[in-house]
Amino acid sequence: MVEQALEANPDAKIVAFVHAETSTGALSDAEVIAKLARQHDCLTIVDAVTSLGGVPLLVDEWQLDAVYSGSQKCLSCVPGLSPLTFSQRAVDKIQSRKSRVQSWFLDQSLVLGYWSGEGKRSYHHTAPINSLYALHEALVLLMSEGLENAWQRHKDIHLELREGLEKLGIEFVVDEASRLPQLNAVHIPDGVDDALVRKTLLERYNLEIGAGLGSLAGKAWRIGLMGYAARSENVALCLKALETTLK
Ligand SMILES: *Cc1c(COP(=O)(O)O)cnc(C)c1O
């Protein structure tokens, strides 16, 4: 579909997509999409908010151009920071702009100046120091676990949840090949009161699961297993709580 869209729109300059799609529980094939984009002379803008730390995200190998994430998902840090990275192609694009950026806060050309060190450094904003210390600590924890180990843990814990849900007769929305381990979108069994179940889980078990969005509203639940939360005891709690509540 991406290829067809690019062929139908030869003037396209950018392909923007979500890597770990948390509304639907699907994992995009970032490598293939980026390859198609390059074949059509497009840059990629990648929402990696929920993929960073949870699934492989090979920014350089896949040649992604502008990639942003969040501190509060699989990095299990406080919210407020958005780690981001640019390829040289993206930086060149920004620096060769002919018109000025019309806003202050999303003006990456100013931020590039802010980053470029002594002499060239111009004021852009006051850095949120406390958040940076928190992010540093979250990254130290991730590094001591090992990035590849963290990917594997998310996968293993997802499979644990899957096994238990299947025993309860609950099915996944997304085909196995594109399933996102850190966000499990599942069909609500027939005749079950969506809101009442979520309310009971929250009030009785202090466990919050996500409602379906858009066309999946009332039809699906979204069970997050991100970062520190991706552990066996949470899967056990979720399965037990769901089983009891559904009964
Ligand atoms: C959570 C999430 C966001 C939103 O992040 P905020 O920091 O809450 O704005 C964006 N994209 C994806 C894929 C997400 O999962």
pLDDT digit string, tens, across residues 134-174: 999 999 999 999 999 999 999 999 999 999 999 999 999 99
Would you say the CB of residue 49 lies under 6 angstroms from ligand 1?
yes
- Tell which atom from ligand 1 comes closest to the C-alpha of 22: 15
| Nearest-angstrom CA–CA distance, 150 and 139 | 12
Q: Which of 46, 74, 188, 64 is nearest to 141 (CA)?
A: 74
- For ligand 1, atom 12, which residue shows the shortest CA distance? 49
The CA 167 to ligand 1 mean position distance, Å, reads 31
The per-residue pLDDT for range 10-19, each reduced to its tens digit, is: 999 999 999 9
Alpha-carbon distance of 28 to 100, in angstroms, equals 33
Residues 6 or more apart whose Cβ sits within 8 Å of residue 13 = 41, 42, 43
Asked if 172 and 243 count as a contact pair (C-beta separation under 8 A), the reply is: no
List pLDDT tens digits, range 9-61: 999 999 999 999 999 999 999 999 999 999 999 999 999 999 999 999 999 99
pTM for the predicted model, two decimal places: 0.94
Whether 106 shows a pLDDT value over 90: the answer reads no
Read off the amino acid at residue 105. F
